[in-house]
Chains A and B, each alone.
Chain A
Amino acid sequence: MEILSQLIVSGISLGMIYAVIAFGYQLTFATSRTLNFGQGEALMLGALVGLTLVGHMSYWLMIPIVLIFGALQGIVVERIGVRPALKIKSEFGWIMTTISLAIIFKNVAENIWGRDDLKFPSPLPTAPLNFLGVRVLPMEILVVVGAIAIMLAVEFFNRKSIYGKAVVATSNDRDAAGLMGINTGMVITFSYALSSMTAAFAGVLIAPLTLTGATMGVVLGLKAFAVAIIGGLNSGMGVIAGGLLLGIAETTTGYYISTGYKDVPGLLLLLLVLAVKPAGLFGKSEIKKV
C-alpha cells in the first residue's frame, strides 16, 4: 500500500509535466489548427540551455532567461516551419517541417552538449519530505506548483486582457478575428512562442528529477501528445486529468510489470483513445459543414 501511494505521488509530478507539454500543443492547435511535432525538443532545449546557465547563475535567475529562449525558439519554428506551410495550405507540409525542425534541433543539441545524459543540479534540497508516510521530493512539489502556475497564468491572460481575448477570438474564428482588426498571423506566432516557452519551462522543472540529454524530448513529446488527445485538443482542464492518468499509469506499470515496458501504457492509451473517441475524453466532436 505504501509503495502504491509512493508510485501515485511520483506519478503526479510526472503527469503534471505531461500536462504542461500537452497544454502547449493545445495553444498552437487552438489558434492555427497545427501542432509542433518538435514540442518535446522545445522542452529538451530549455533543459539543456538551463543546464548551461545554471553553471553561471542561480536556478531562479536562469528561469526567465530560459523562458525568453523558449519563446524565441517557438517563433523560429513558426516562421520557418508553420507559416509558409499554412500559406500553401498544406497539412502534410507543416507536419513534415515541424518534424524536420525537431530532428535538426536534436542533432544540433547532440553536437553541442554531447550524446550522454547529464546531471542537472537540484535547486531545492534533495532530502525527501514525509507526508503521511509517503516520501515526496521538494522538487516534485515544485514541479506541480510550477506547472499549475504557468497554466493558470496563461488562462488568466486569456480571460482578462484584451490581447488574450484576441487570441481566443482567433481560435474561434480566424476570419472574423481579422475583421476585428486582429493580426491573426501575429497571434499564431505568439501562440507558438508561448507554447515553446511553456515547454522550455517544463524542461527546467523536470530536469533535476531525471536525466538531461538530447534524447529526453522525443518520447516525452509523444506521450504528451497522448495526453493532449485524451484531454481533447480544445479543452483546458482535460490535459491535467489526462496527464495525471498517464503519469500514474506509467509509474505503476514500470514497477509492477517491467521498466522496459514503461513507455507502453501511454502509447497504447493514445491508440485506444484515437480509436474510440478521436475528439478526446473531454473534447467536443466537431461537425464539419459542407
Chain B
Amino acid sequence: MLQIKNLHAAYGKVEVLHGISIDVPQGKVVTLIGSNGAGKTTTMRAVSGMIKPTGGEIRLGAKDVTGMASHKIARTGLAHSPEGRRVFSTLSVTDNLLLGAFPRLTFGRERGDVQGDLNRIFDLFPRLKERREQLAGTLSGGEQQMLAMGRALMLNPDVLLLDEPSMGLAPLLVEEVFRIIRELKARGITMLLVEQFAAAALNVADYGYVLENGRISCHGPAEQLKNDPAVKAAYLGAAH
C-alpha cells in the first residue's frame, strides 16, 4: 500500500535520512522505531509532504506521491496524525474532526457517510464525545492525542501515519492509545507507527524497522525484533 524507496531528506545542508526503504502492505501495521534524533519524525514528514525529500521515491498504492504538496497527498488518502498532536486549538472537537474529512466534504475524495463516521469516532473515543463542543486547545494532552487520531481517521484513509502517539502521556493513557491502535488493526486499517516506546510498538505491529542515524539498521517481523539483542542495545542503552 505504502512504499518508501531509498528516501533521502535533509534540513538545509544537513542530510538526515540517507536512503531508507520501508514497505507497508495493506492491512498491516508496520512500526518504525529508533532513538531520538534517528530521523523517525523526519521520515513521517517526508511521506506526508510536510517536507520535500531530496531523493528517493514514495508510492501510495499505484500513485507516485514523491515531492507532492501535503494537501494533495492527503487527498490521495494518506492521513497523518503528527508529532505533538497539533490540533486546531480555537476550533471545537467536532470541527476538528470535520476538518479531518475536508477532502470528502469538498472535493478530492469520495464523500461517503461523514456524519456516520463522525458518530463512529465518538463511539471509539467516548471522552471526545463528552467534550464535542469544547475548544480543542483546552483539552488535556491525552484527549488531544485522541482527537488527532480521530481527525486522521475521518479522512477514511488508505494509510494512517501515527507519529509518536504516546508522547507526553501518562501510562494509563498510553495503554488506552495502544488499545485503540489494536482496535484499528482489527478493523484492517493500514498503519505506519513511529514510537519511542519500542516494546509497546513491537507488541502491536506486524513488522518493524529500526532506524539509526538516518539509516535502517535492521528490520523483520515484530516478534523477531522484540527478542533481538541488537535492537535492545541500539537505543535502549547498556541498561538492559
Contacts and interface: CB of A to CB of B under 8 A. Distances in A.
A178 B98 contact: no
B88 A173 contact: yes
Interface string A165-194: 110110111011111111110000000000
Contacts of B95: 165
Nearest to B154: A180
B155 A181 contact: yes
A184 B98 CA distance: 17
A285 to B, nearest CB: 15
A146 to B, nearest CB: 27
Contact of A165 (B82, B89, B98): B98
The listed residue with most B CB atoms (<10 A of its CB), out of A173, A179, A180, A183, is: A179
B100 A165 contact: no
Interface stretch (B70-78, B115-123, B171-179): B70-78
Contact of B99 (A166, A171, A183, A184): A166
Given A162-B106, A176-B82, A180-B100, A169 B49 contact: no
A179 B48 contact: yes
Interface in B57-72: 69-71
B48 A169 contact: no
Nearest to B136: A172
A168 B90 contact: yes
A172 B89 CA distance: 7
Given A168-B90, A179-B74, A162 B69 contact: no
Interface residues of A, number: 19
Contacts of A181: 71, 74-75, 102-103, 106, 108-109, 155
B10 interface: no
- Give the interface centre of A166, A168, A176, A178 by most chain B CB atoms within 10 Å: A176
A165 B96 CA distance: 9
Contacts of A166: 99, 102
A171 to B, nearest CB: 8
Contact of A175 (B82, B91, B105, B109): B82
Contacts of B91: 165, 168-169, 172
A180 B102 contact: yes
A171 B91 CA distance: 11
Nearest to A234: B90
B8 interface: no
A173 B86 contact: yes
Interface in A227-257: none
A154 to B, nearest CB: 15
Contacts of A171: 90
Contacts of A179: 48, 50, 70-71, 74, 79-80, 82
B86 A176 contact: yes
A168 B88 contact: yes
B70 A162 contact: no
A143 B171 CA distance: 58
Contacts of A183: 69, 71
B89 A180 contact: no
When A and B form their complex, which 6 residue pairs have the shortest distance between CB atoms, in order from nearest?
A181-B74, A181-B103, A178-B70, A176-B86, A172-B88, A169-B88
Given A168-B88, A182-B71, 19 more contacts: A162-B102, A162-B105, A162-B106, A165-B95, A166-B102, A168-B91, A171-B90, A173-B88, A175-B50, A176-B86, A176-B88, A178-B49, A178-B74, A179-B74, A180-B74, A181-B71, A181-B75, A181-B102, A183-B69
Interface of B: 48-50, 69-71, 74-75, 79-80, 82, 86-91, 95, 98-100, 102-103, 105-106, 108-109, 151, 155
12 contacts: A162-B105, A165-B98, A171-B90, A172-B89, A172-B90, A172-B91, A173-B88, A178-B70, A180-B71, A180-B100, A181-B71, A181-B108
Interface of A: 162-163, 165-166, 168-169, 171-173, 175-184
